[in-house]
Amino acid sequence: MDNFVYAKDELGLSREEISAALLSAIEGRELKNVLIIPPDFTRFHSNAGYITNVYYHALTERGCNVDILPALGTHVPVTEDEAKLMFGDVPYEKFIAHNWRTDVVKLGEVPADYLEDITEGLWLSPVSVEVNRLIMDEKYDLIISPGQVVPHEVIGMANHSKNLFVGTGGSDMINKSHMVGAVYGMERMMGKDHTPVRKLFDYGMEHFLNKRPILFVLTVCTAPGGNIRTHGLFIGEDRKCLEAAIELAQEKNIDFVDTGIKKCVVYLDPGEFKSTWLGNKSVYRTRMAIADGGELLVLAPGVERFGEDAQVDKLIRKYGYKGRLNTLEQFEKPENQDLRDNMGAAAHLIHGSSDGRFTITYAVKNISKEEIESVGFCAADYDEAAKRYDPEKLQYGYNTLPDGEEIYFIPNPALGLWINREKF
């Protein structure tokens, strides 16, 4: 049975309201083994950490065994400190690290003709449907998949089946789904339902996971000043909970500006963003709002590498964020098999470039200026940039500096999507 709970005011749902809704969803179920698949630390502001904690304690108190498989995708495993900060007192030994290269089982394929149809002829090959083998383990009476619905560059709106097919998926699905999105065009999809990538995952749910006992627990959140506000909680076993969450997320997580932003300054929390792979949300989520010839300045004190793993980091250093056409040209060259073997990385390179429409400047502490420039970005000294554009003093939205410079400041790009109303 669906259970949709909305906040009565802008402060969001209380923990008591959230807990009551969560417990009502498992009331009356005979459960011996439960698998929870929350997002990882990169979705800290999803409130999925609290949700996981509530379910863990409620279920274990009933004598149920609970395993936790964070939806890492290609991200690095959750550390013990991160787990404590996000999930509270859930024992760290209950967390299982997903390895997208080795821990998956193939369920079938999404056929080429279906992909050709949904991408308007832009993608012509099949996609393997792979998930972590634990999802198919019959011992689990229930699989709980919590997470935040929020605008996303690859799929349009994050979560629901994406949590399974990418978060606990294998290389073929992760790589090709990202490339399908890049080829189709992220600006055609961001903030929308029923995109080609969403349809790809819907197909996987309908044909391969329709008999698994999966309960989706979806949030719509904002985090002004870093304080999580959960505006809606949507619990269900089918697509209705996703559609209700999308409707609210489009209201809460898309910000329209009246004209193109000439200078956008984005701050990346060092605890959350340690790579450009993650930090480029500053590019994805603002690109539809920045004016032609504008500038994006990314204040990134915690960014210390490009990729989330060594192999992807090497590819980013080799090919760089140098435009969609350049990346597709490199992708087609016979000698660049390493890029074709990592389509997700190729898609990321496309997403992370402005195609020359605006400049992207990374201000970092832990990567050299030469390295930043070698991948196609401009570079700035973090301390100097933060002195002028102090993230502690700037207000969200438009700011006018003492010398008259006007900027638009975003304290966390992961929580929204910004669009120039003139071009939407």
Average pLDDT, the chain: 95
Statement: residue 403 has pLDDT above 80: yes
Sequence spans of domains, the chain: 3-252, 255-423
Q: Given this model, what pLDDT does residue 1 score?
A: 64
Whether the per-residue pLDDT at 424 is higher than 80: the answer is no
**How do residues 236-287 score in pLDDT, each as one tens digit?**
999 999 999 999 999 999 999 999 999 999 999 998 899 999 999 999 999 9
Q: Does an H or E element contain 218, and which?
A: strand 214-222
Please give the average per-residue pLDDT across 187-210, as a whole number. Answer: 96
Q: pLDDT tens digit string along 157-198?
A: 999 999 999 999 999 999 999 999 998 988 899 999 999 999
190 within 8 A of 286, measured Cβ to Cβ: no
What letters, b where the CB count within 10 A reaches 16 and e where it falls short, cover 281-304?
A: bbbbbbbbbbbeebbbbbbbbbbe
Closest CA to 192 of 234, 151, 134, 253: 151
Q: Say which range, 226-230, 285-289, 352-356, has the weakest mean pLDDT.
A: 226-230
Q: What is the mean pLDDT of residues 291-318?
A: 96
Q: Which residue has the higher pLDDT, 354 or 8?
A: 354
pLDDT at residue number 389 = 98
- Give CA–CA dist 197/176, Å, rounded: 10
As a CATH number, domain 3-252 is 3.40.50.11440
Share of the chain above pLDDT 90, in %: 88
- Lowest-confidence pick of 86-90, 225-229, 386-390: 225-229
* Radius of gyration over every alpha carbon of the chain, rounded to an integer in angstroms: 21
pLDDT, residue 414, reads 87
Domain at 255-423, CATH class: alpha beta
pLDDT of residue 258: 92
Q: What is the pLDDT of residue 2?
A: 83
